[in-house]
Amino acid sequence: MPPNLSARHAALTERERHILECLGAAVVKEWTDLPTAVQRALFRRATASDHDDPAQLKALIARFLHDHKDAPAAPEAKARS
């Protein structure tokens, strides 16, 4: 992870990380039902980071969304909510 991203992530509290994890999981679960314009806006926002290799990040996120689009919610995410 690039230094600027790791510093940003380190600044998050455990509670904030949990909130982002839950929110991200909810977005992935609803991804296929979101309007295309919303999907594109979210994807654009997610990949507009200071990542060393933006093309690689786009490919990783696209693959993740494809692989998890129909997956049930993780048991630990359900247990925390």
For the question of whether the overall pTM of this predicted structure is more than 0.75, the answer is no
Domain map of the chain by residue range? Answer: 3-80
With 60 as the cut, is the pLDDT of residue 11 above it?
yes
Tell me what pLDDT residue 77 has: 45
Task: Give the tens place of pLDDT for each residue, 12-62.
Answer: 899 999 999 999 999 999 999 999 999 999 999 988 877 788 899 999 999
- Transcribe 27-75 into DSSP letters: HHHHGGGS-HHHHHHHHHHHT-S--S-HHHHHHHHHHHHHHHTTPPPPH
Instruction: Compute the radius of gyration of the chain from its Cα atoms.
Output: 14
- Distance, CA of 79 to CA of 81 (rounded, Å): 6
Tell me what pLDDT residue 38 has: 97
The CA-based angle 19-59-18, given to 5 degrees, is 10
Tell me what pLDDT residue 33 has: 94
